[in-house]
Amino acid sequence: MKYFLIAGEPSGDQHGSELMKAILKIDPTAEFRFLGGDLMVRVGGKAVIHIHDLAFMGFTQLIVKLLKIRENFRITRKEILSFNPDVVIPIDYGGFNLRLIPWLKKNKFLTTYYITPKVWAWMPSRARKLARFTDRSLCVLPFEPEFLAKYGVPCAYVGNPVKEYVKPLILANPDSIRADLGLSKKPVIALLPGSRKQEIRQILPVMVKMIDQFKEYQFVIGGHVNFPESFYREITGTAAIEIKYGKTLEIVRIARAALVTSGTATLETALLGTPQVVCYTTSPVSWLIARIVIKVRYISLVNLILDQSCIEELIQFNYTARNLNDSLSRVLNDPAYIAQMTDGYRNLNEKLGDNDASATAADVICRFFLHL
């Protein structure tokens, strides 16, 4: 069978690659084409557009990149028609995929949306597109099926793929991880300032200010492969800070605490059991628009899944050095607060369940839709 996958961000590349591996176990002769990244390339198939040319951040950047986005649509439609897949699998990346699925329906392509976009966060009416233009939607957050069902979306919760890829690290020996990272025995504070240049420039400087306040710790940045060390050093200056690439989960696993930009990293950190503070700020224009359109109480996946404040979120004007200092002190030194967060993490694990998301999703796609 032929599968066309559309992943537009690093997390989508991660989840897409795992889904492809799971499909191959059921359908060993599977052929893949995709919009994705290096992880999907390693599994096999042809990358039509790399995620480097797909990931844009913020409302203002979308305007600037409009012509490039249109070109990406044109290339994608052309490649789908040429490849003529048995099923198209959009993976998250709602800004692109929700605009594409009407065209897929019109051209009679079978569509299974894996990792449904966060329509519950803003413009919930977009869920009607899923109902109208997809054959089935596969959710990875436990509260999503109930929400989407209100709009008539045929969907199912398949589990959360983050649980799959953090499991080996949970079982790993922390001392071995520390040795592999080349770190001293000094306790670690992990810095995860994001995966996009704009957010790193805005978020990392405040994180760096914590170094002089917590001198008994070593601070380690989980560096993103898209940015050289010189980029981070422009921001950190002469501060005593380590930068490690391709080892973000390992850093979090051995850290006493983590300062985390909102996103999948908050869920990864929670599942690894590391106390954290969520840090987020953006441009005034993007923040103003977000305030108007976003309809949820929290920005971190941890708090959203639990539907309560388990981890502290320092957002926009509240994201200051003073507030971050207070919050970091609490997650390092307040036993009652740490215990409360740990209880929240335990509840989070229970809510996510034990399904292997990739395997379950592959089973639905291959056996239900393609009758393999």
pLDDT in tens, 76-98: 999 999 999 999 999 999 989 99
Domain ranges across the chain: 2-159+355-369, 164-352
Residue 2 backbone class (left: φ over 0; alpha: ψ -120 to 50; beta: rest): beta
Residues in the chain with pLDDT values less than 70:
54-65, 283-296, 372
Q: Are 74 and 100 in contact, with CB atoms under 8 Å apart?
A: no
pLDDT 10s digits, 297-334: 888 999 999 999 999 999 989 999 999 999 999 999 99
What pLDDT does 53 receive?
72
Q: Decide if 2-159+355-369 and 164-352 have a common fold.
A: yes
**Distance from C-alpha of 363 to C-alpha of 372, rounded to nearest angstrom:** 9
pTM of whole model > 0.85?
A: yes
At residue 300's C-alpha, the angle toward residues 297 and 303, to 5°, is 65
> 226 is written with which tokens?
């898209």
CATH of domain 2-159+355-369: 3.40.50.2000
Q: Return the pLDDT at 64.
A: 60
Q: Which two tokens stand for residue 355?
A: 């399904």
Q: What is the pLDDT of residue 366?
A: 93
Q: What is the DSSP letter of 52?
A: G
Question: Which contiguous run of DSSP H or E holds residue 156?
Answer: strand 155-157
Residue 361 CA: distances (Å) to CA of 68, 233, 238, 276, 295? 31, 41, 47, 30, 28
Q: DSSP letter for 295, please.
A: -
Are the beta carbons of 332 and 140 closer than 8 angstroms?
A: no
- Identify the CATH homologous superfamily for domain 164-352: Glycogen Phosphorylase B; (3.40.50.2000)
